């Protein structure tokens, strides 16, 4: 058994959330991933995954092995990058499309690392829209939030977000801090209209096996995530946002989380996409390595998760308000 390849397949399966998704990102067959991880488990004489039809979850042994294997992979990647930098450095222009909040909060504050490492590469950074418009975009690589689509693309998982419900300290003092999700019905919630024009006004939570969904309302709806963040900081209401993009607001105290003993469901993933025709591009490869490095660093912060969440059942089916879709489904 090729132990290094087995570690690579194992790490990617953890990060992608399934053997099939890992196989797609590695550009190999799903049976190849399954067989390699099976061989790894036999060699270690432990079970690494709990397998269910819907998703993979790590066993206790799997979690311990992942902590070690991801460090090994990171060290190898660092060595390879350092060795490569001694040779001919890549040069040229790379057009990168990015979801605006990921660019603003995650990538751009760290882009100077890439520019210093590769001074002969020019980056053209552009905002991008919904995932399904990628076929029409002339981009070398895209950094997106949500759930991948199929088509002529290679998908590289970068991070799994966790939803955080929060507001400014001033708002909580004025309106009271909710202790249960149902109490959000009495708050001014700042609602985001996301991919496919879906109004995300149904917030779902889980604790100790109990699941609760709340149809929230408020006086402000926006297609721009960062505008809602700023409005929340000013005391306008409650937002539900991704931890990796709210980190600076939470750490500075501008926003304070609530309902922290509940898991907010259906958090999106952050991933990179590029055309299969670009997979041999050295420019794309070094930029992907940079993205992997910075999101690995961000995922070490205490508010993030490692395991990828499954695609929610409503994704691709809702048009308009999620709450109305849920009400129709309940009647059926």
Distance (Å, whole) CA 293 – CA 272: 13
Confidence class for position 306, pLDDT limits 50, 70, 90 = very low
Distances (CA, A) of 70 to 4, 12, 14, 73, 157: 11, 10, 10, 5, 14
Structural domains of the chain ordered from first start: 3-83 (1.10.10.10), 89-157+270-299 (3.40.190.10), 163-267+311-331 (3.40.190.290)
Per DSSP (E only), the strands in 54-188 are: 56-58, 92-98, 121-127, 141-146, 153-160, 163-167
Confidence class for position 260, pLDDT limits 50, 70, 90 = very high
Residue written as token pair 């505008």: 227
pLDDT, tens digit (0-9, with 9 covering 90-100), for 45-101: 999 998 877 677 889 999 889 888 877 876 776 666 556 555 567 788 888 999 888
Three-state DSSP at 114 gives: helix
What is the pTM (predicted TM-score) of this model? 0.65
Structure tokens given for 157:
């998982």
CA dihedral (65, 69, 19, 49) in degrees, to 10, reads 0
Structure tokens given for 47:
């079970």
Task: Please compute the mean of the pLDDT values over residues 201-229 and round it to a whole number.
Answer: 92
- CA 73-79-80 angle, to 5 degrees, is 90
């Amino acid at each position: 058994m090729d132990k290094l390849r087995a570690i690579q397949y194992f790490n990617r399966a953890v990060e992608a959330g399934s053997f099939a998704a890992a196989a797609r990102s590695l550009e190999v067959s799903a049976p190849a991933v399954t067989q390699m991880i099976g061989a790894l488990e036999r060699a270690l004489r432990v079970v690494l995954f709990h397998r269910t039809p819907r998703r993979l979850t790590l066993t206790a042994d799997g979690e311990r092995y992942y902590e070690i294997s991801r460090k090994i992979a990171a060290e190898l990647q660092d060595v390879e990058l350092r060795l490569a930098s001694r040779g001919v450095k890549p040069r040229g222009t790379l057009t990168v499309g990015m979801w605006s909040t990921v660019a603003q909060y995650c990538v751009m504050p760290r882009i100077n690392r890439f520019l210093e490492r590769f001074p002969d590469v020019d980056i053209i950074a552009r905002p991008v829209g919904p995932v399904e418009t990628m076929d029409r975009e002339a981009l070398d690589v895209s950094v997106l939030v949500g759930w991948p689509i199929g088509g002529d693309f290679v998908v590289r998982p970068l991070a799994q977000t966790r939803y955080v419900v929060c507001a400014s300290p001033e708002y909580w003092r004025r309106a009271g801090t909710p202790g249960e999700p149902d109490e959000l019905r009495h708050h001014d919630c700042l609602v985001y209209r996301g991919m496919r024009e879906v109004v995300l006004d149904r917030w779902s939570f889980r604790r100790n096996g109990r699941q609760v969904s709340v149809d929230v309302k408020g006086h402000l709806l926006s297609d721009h995530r960062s505008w809602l963040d700023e409005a929340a900081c000013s005391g306008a209401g409650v937002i539900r946002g991704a931890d990796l993009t709210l980190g600076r607001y939470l750490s500075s105290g501008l926003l304070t989380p609530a309902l922290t003993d509940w898991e907010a469901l259906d958090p999106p993933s952050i991933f990179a996409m590029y055309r299969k025709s670009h997979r041999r591009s050295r420019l794309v490869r070094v930029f992907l390595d940079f993205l992997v490095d910075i999101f690995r660093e961000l995922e070490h912060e205490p508010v993030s998760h490692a395991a990828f969440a499954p695609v929610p059942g409503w994704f691709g089916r809702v048009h308009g308000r999620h709450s109305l879709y849920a009400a129709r489904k309940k009647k059926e």
